[in-house]
Structure 1
């Protein structure tokens, strides 16, 4: 079974709960600190990373960007700007592995990300 790690600076448990609600039994979900989550992704111990912070990019994705590279990451929301559903789908389809967003947008973006990841697994 594929694995999703939840990192980020804030609301990790809430993000993980939302991820689990939309995982359709296709993913194991684990909450880790930023560095441990990004290391798990880099080392192949996790397949995807989701994280929230106040900016959608800094604390949510900094470690993932540093360890797996910007080309594997996507800030799907930031204060005052949220990607459209089509844009988020394109990021998943492009093979991005780590997704950052603001905690205020988690109810919007996590279901879209998870729908696309579940579809990739089917």
Structure 2
């Protein structure tokens, strides 16, 4: 079974609810955790993916994940000045990125693509 943990500093309940709708019927569990526990869950293999949001897409969204998993496993998919293209996000996913951060105001743009990539992994 695939496990997605939701960390970050903003919108965790909304992200969880959106993911549950997008991934309904899939064999995927979604759980909200604090940043440290979420990153540790991925590092230990208890979770497959980390998703987090904040104002910058990197700091509060991904700082703990980056510290524990390393920058080779994390990816800011949306910052205040740039939202990565679907192809760029897919490329990161295919290269082994497992922790994704974005600005909370980009949630409706990037979360459906992340959910699709996770569902098809």
Structure 1 length as normaliser, TM-score? 0.95
Rounded Cα–Cα distance in structure 2 between residues aligned with 1:59 and 1:100: 9
How does the TM-score come out when normalised to structure 2? 0.96
Per the alignment, residue 77 of structure 2 pairs with: 76
> What is the root-mean-square deviation of aligned Cα atoms in Å?
0.9
Tell me how far apart the structure 2 counterparts of residues 91 and 18 of structure 1 sit (CA, whole Å): 22
Where does residue 29 of structure 2 map in the other structure? 28
For residues 60-91 of structure 1, the C-alpha deviation after alignment (integer angstroms, 9 at most, x for no partner) is 00000000110000000000210011111111
* Residue correspondences, number: 120
Structure 1 unaligned blocks of 5 or more: none
Structure 2 residue aligned with 1:5:
5
Gaps of 5+ in 2: none
What is the rounded CA distance, in whole Å, between the counterparts of 1:108 and 1:21 in structure 2?
15
Distance 2:2 2:105 in 1: 27
* Greater shift in the superposed pair: 12-21 or 103-112: 12-21
